[in-house]
Structure 1
Amino acid sequence: MNHRQFSPGAVLADYKPQLNSKFQGNPFIEALPPSLSEQELGELLALGPDFSPEQRNWPDVERIQKAFGLGNIMIPLERHIAVANCVDSMLRNGYVGREPLTKRDGERMQALYEGRSCSQGFVGAYSDGTAQLSAMLMGLPGMGKTALVKRIFSYLPQVIYHPESNRYQVTRLHVEMPSDGSSVKGLAHGILSQLDRIIPGAQYYQECALKGRPGADALMRSVARLMHRHAVGFLIADEVQNVVHARKNSQVVMTELVSACNELGVPILFIGTNKAAQVFSLDFRQSRRACGHGIPLWNALDRASGEWEEFLEVLWGYQWVRKPVEYSEKMSELMFELSQGIIDVAIKLFAAAQVGAIRSGDEMLTPSLLESVYMQQMHMLHPMLSALKRGSYEDILRYEDIAAPSMAQVWAASQQSAAWKQKYGAAAGFSGE
């Protein structure tokens, strides 16, 4: 998987033969590192601090620093492998039919140019009938969705140079949806700035966004042209729930983004909290894009499947207190009770409890210490965690980011229909307030 460095920020293409006939002869696919096995994926995704029992004899300040370093830990589970397999498949299949220096490649570039000069929208400018590859990674905040995707792509060079076509291939772009949910220009500026950062010598932001102060349509046309020129292989649209904040049409940014990727054949992975379900529930086309491809709903870790225990047993081994406590069912139950299976909450609770034990001199994790840390340091999370624990629709729906998609979709629909709320609201437990 080693690539010879070509220039800062790019590697020289190193072509590999392909077993899949659909991938053969396609430089954009042949230049990618081989797909990883499940074992290799597990090794890639695993991330944790170096640890040895001898570190428990270190000075207090050093051990506290180690405990706080747990915030970056990643413990691969079956759900992580499923997402990694999906992303890899989407990336490679998205390049099918996009070979450089072909008639189709030239036609697509011409169509993009004509659409720009005529100030046309994306839809209808070019289409080859290829099914759009898209998926949604949606779930509770604090479950490591964005960190996972970044980790998955970490073994792929982001920019590959192809001497024969004199072309820089960009394997992926990771953009955040505009914070106001409706700024097409904000989305375009983000993409242009990223391309400037990773393409040697590029000044696309200055050329496309500043000269002549183009409108949103013209700006997105320039973005599409550049994404085609640099063979962008994958687009990660993060913080999709921001679209809900749009003051007017919440579908404008999504439509522009999806239309561009439809024309270019670029797969999209949408990442968002459960609040994003409100966006997808308004449009069947958008809902269809969120389904399939084997990506599970990113809910809290489940005890019944053994997923929680698998995670906590690994985490529990990172104890820098001088009197480490063995993993037990009792501790597992308590940690789950306090964190409700949310990865980020569990890690922070575990780290903060160790810091408390070191500072107090007790040097031991105890149930009372964990409960004390939860009460004193995580009080802002209590309403949300309590709502998850009770499982009450009415309570959970007060917090849109944690409401399960089916619940969020029902509520979004109900907001558009006063008759629905009047007829069914009370029976369903929705107050409408």
Structure 2
Amino acid sequence: MTEQTTGAFLRGYACTAEYRDDEVIEEYKNNPLIEAFPKRIDKSELLERIFRTPYYNNNHRKLDLEDRLELIDQIYDEFMQPLPSHIDLHRAIYSMIRRGYKGRNPLSPSFTRQFAIGHEKIWKAGIDSEGRNLAGISPTSSTFSLVGLSGMGKTRSVENILLQYPQVIRHEIYKSEPFIRTQLVWLKIECPSSKSLKSLCNNFYMAIDRILGTNYYAQYSRSREDTFDKLAATMSHVASLVNLGLLVIDEIQRVNKGTSGGENRMIEFIAELTNTFGVPIIIVGTFKAMYLYKKSLANIRRAIPVTYMEHIIDRMDNKQQWNLFLGSLWNLQYIKTETKLTKELSDTMYFETQGVLDITVKLYMHIQSHAIIKGGDERITPAMIREVARKSLQLLQPLFDKFRRGDTSTTEEEFEDIKPKWLELNDYLKQADHRVEVTGALSNEHKRALQQKDEQKIIKKLFDHAVQNGLEPLKAEQATNSVYQASQGMGNLNALMETLNKQVDESKAVVEQKKNISSLPKQRATKKIKPMLHPKDIRSIVLEGEKAGKTIDEALKEAGYIKPYDEFI
């Protein structure tokens, strides 16, 4: 029985190949797949293309209630504010496609040889010590992982960048020679709801069939008896047939450890598909997907491509990017009274949404709808933001309260796609050998994790530096620990060295001051001169009486200090 699967996929545009002759990288020349790929879009043009906002003018404020409520509904689907992270993502995607094609030139003999050998044999053989597969191809592809907070626009960001370039390029003639070939530049699919890797492979065939009009699903899906290795090898074969430039797998957190043959299987699949056949892959998912990396990467670290990158996205900090995003969103006002965005309003919005972009957009829409329905001057106030947030974001309040308190303890299961289990993530970051970039509120924790990874090396360098600059070992150890702990594992080595130098100078100054004091000539102690006593002082009377052989009573009676007992009778 054939397993039927469905999955969302992204459709782009198709074009006929036009070959560029301005390639600057020598290794990329004479490769029709690279020369047909358009030139990189510059930063300003990219931001202009990605930016999207619904049509708006001030007259919309004068429309009736129902029309304005309908206009507010357009914000969620039509608003897209580019951020600096989009530029970095675009660079990564563009470079991945070109670099991946470098090792898969269809004009090279090794590329043709792999079809004669068979992809199943190539898959099982893997790559040799020099990084070449059984056909002699040295894969040049890379893998990019985009994992993070739900609601931060990961999927939309990737899709917007992919759509800037053709999805299908059809070749006919290259350098005056017939070259009939279809080039599938990129393919984006989702993990199926059935959660199995076999279903993922089938979704791959179905997406290609719908885009290219082929029949790979019927040809290669077959029955449940196919082994995963065989299905994956066939998937690689199809990727080679269509000259796939980049595979994007979204919703990776749907892959189930039980139904996919163990948590290592997915990472093994991605690593082998990239290493053996050179297909670049981007995987996108929420924090629930972190289980894929917790143990898998540590177990099969050698299989991970050298160029493997990972980007972990957390909620936005209340800083420059937040001001850019909210300021752009704030322009879409449909209330009667225009409300200028103040720092108090911005801080209140951040407090209630904690920098989650998707929730920020939804809350802003709810606030305007509330103001319009309530009537009056329809002005947005901090009190109104808090009132609407209490109702609209009621289910998220327990989680957001943890964010506000800085609580990094394990959150409830239903929040796993929004907040990672920090102890696991922190341990993972410290062990990762590949390149990991973290943006948002987790970035400070990432910096701390990176430094903690080399904590002993850093402390040793600080200690040696203190000793070399004249501190005794005990004092050097105390100064080193003081400086490192004060940084909370966040300062870079140069900054720590500067702080340590100040401590060394202060310590040396104290020692020098003590030396200077101890070197001064000591003064002889002089005998204390007792003060002269008044003749009528009781002490003087007693002393003089003792000299004369008188008792204390006698001396005091003679001096008049002790009266007869009957004086007052």
**What is the TM-score when the length of structure 2 is the normalising length?**
0.65
Match of 2:188, SS state, is: strand
Answering whether residue 241 of structure 2 is matched by residue 229 of structure 1, we say yes
Structure-2 residue corresponding to 1:429: none
Residue type of the partner of 2:36? A
Answering whether residue 38 of structure 2 is matched by residue 62 of structure 1, we say no
> Structure 1 regions of 5+ residues with no counterpart?
1-7, 414-433
Q: Determine the C-alpha separation between the residues in 1 that align with 2:318 and 2:374.
A: 32
Match of 1:393, SS state, is: coil
Of the three residues 134, 143, 146, the one matched with 2:143 is: 134
Structure-2 residue corresponding to 1:383: 398
Structure-2 residue corresponding to 1:44: 49
Give the % identical residues. Answer: 26
Of the three residues 385, 395, 404, the one matched with 1:370 is: 385
CA contact (8 A) 2:315 2:356 kept: yes
> Structure 2 regions of 5+ residues with no counterpart?
1-11, 128-132, 173-177, 430-569
| More contact order relative to length (CA 8 Å, sep ≥ 6) | 1
Q: CA deviation at 1:311?
A: 0.9
Residues 112-154 of structure 1: per-residue CA shift (max 9 Å, x gap): 34639xxx64735636343541121121110000110000011
Q: Of the two, which has the highest radius of gyration?
A: 2
Structure-2 residue corresponding to 1:5: none
Q: Determine the C-alpha separation between the residues in 1 that align with 2:271 and 2:325.
A: 36
Matches within 5 A, 1:187-266: 187-200=200-213, 202-210=214-222, 214-243=226-255, 245-246=257-258, 249-266=262-279
Structure-2 residue corresponding to 1:418: none
Matches within 5 A, 1:30-179: 30-72=35-77, 73-113=79-119, 115=121, 121=124, 123-124=126-127, 126=134, 128-163=137-172, 164-179=178-193
Residue type of the partner of 1:187? L
190-199 vs 382-391, which moves further? 382-391
CA contact (8 A) 1:136 1:291 kept: no
Match of 1:233, SS state, is: coil
Q: Determine the C-alpha separation between the residues in 1 that align with 2:58 and 2:95.
A: 41
Structure-1 residue corresponding to 2:353: 339
Residue type of the partner of 2:190? E
Seen in structure 2, the aligned counterparts of structure 1 residues 142 and 290 have a Cα distance that, compared at 3 Å, is farther
Q: Determine the C-alpha separation between the residues in 1 that align with 2:270 and 2:294.
A: 17
CA contact (8 A) 2:247 2:279 kept: yes
Q: Determine the C-alpha separation between the residues in 2 that align with 1:287 and 1:103.
A: 28
Structure-2 residue corresponding to 1:416: none
**What is the TM-score when the length of structure 1 is the normalising length?**
0.84
Q: Determine the C-alpha separation between the residues in 2 that align with 1:60 and 1:88.
A: 45
Structure-1 residue corresponding to 2:565: none
Residues 32-78 of structure 1: per-residue CA shift (max 9 Å, x gap): 12101110111122121111111222232222122122113211111
Structure-2 residue corresponding to 1:421: none
237-246 vs 70-79, which moves further? 237-246
Provide the alpha-carbon RMSD of the alignment.
2.8
Seen in structure 2, the aligned counterparts of structure 1 residues 246 and 382 have a Cα distance that, compared at 3 Å, is farther
Structure-1 residue corresponding to 2:417: 401
CA contact (8 A) 1:80 1:148 kept: yes
Q: CA deviation at 1:368?
A: 2.2
Q: Determine the C-alpha separation between the residues in 2 that align with 1:244 and 1:385.
A: 28
Q: Determine the C-alpha separation between the residues in 1 that align with 2:44 and 2:351.
A: 31
Seen in structure 2, the aligned counterparts of structure 1 residues 129 and 406 have a Cα distance that, compared at 3 Å, is farther
CA contact (8 A) 2:110 2:137 kept: no
CA contact (8 A) 2:410 2:422 kept: no
Match of 1:70, SS state, is: helix
Residue type of the partner of 1:256? F
Matches within 5 A, 1:272-421: 272-282=285-295, 283-284=297-298, 285=300, 296-304=311-319, 306-362=320-376, 363-396=378-411, 399-404=415-420, 407-409=423-425
Of the three residues 17, 27, 36, the one matched with 2:32 is: 27
Q: Determine the C-alpha separation between the residues in 2 that align with 1:339 and 1:369.
A: 14
Match of 2:182, SS state, is: strand
Equivalenced residues, count: 400
Q: CA deviation at 1:199?
A: 0.6
Q: Determine the C-alpha separation between the residues in 2 that align with 1:344 and 1:291.
A: 34
